[in-house]
Amino acid sequence: MVNYYDKHLFISKKKLAELADVSPRTFSRYLASRRHILEAMGISPKAQKLPPQAVKYICEDYCIDLPPELQDQKALSKSPIRDLILQSWEDEQLYLQARNNLRQHIALKS
């Protein structure tokens, strides 16, 4: 999934741990292993909420998919990827409908 990070949204470490489906302790150990990178971004190890650039790095490094409500809705709505996902979903629905119609037609002939 592609994340469209909201440039103005700070996210807590606890929330990121929940999204990563790990305990806060496990997540804090992960952050400790990346302390030098976060410090280079100007982020204190004691910070409770992380700025957008840190959220972006952590999500990409730890493979966390942000839910739509935490993403930039404006960028998300303009995304060409969103259109491709919706189109492929519609194509799949049409395929499933055609397959079911064919099965019903074969069942009627039997």
56 plus 85 within the same structural domain: no
83 plus 99 within the same structural domain: yes
Contact 66, 18 (CB under 8 A): no
Domain that holds residue 38: 1-72
Q: How confident is the model at residue 82 (pLDDT cuts 50, 70, 90)?
A: low
Q: Read off the tokens for 37.
A: 């990178």
11 plus 53 within the same structural domain: yes
Contact 76, 2 (CB under 8 A): no
- 71 - beta bridge partners? 5
Q: How confident is the model at residue 22 (pLDDT cuts 50, 70, 90)?
A: very high
Report the number of distinct structural domains present in the chain.
Answer: 2
d(CA 103, CA 1): 34
d(CA 79, CA 44): 33
86 plus 52 within the same structural domain: no
**Across all residues in the chain, what is the average pLDDT?**
81
4 plus 39 within the same structural domain: yes
11 plus 63 within the same structural domain: yes
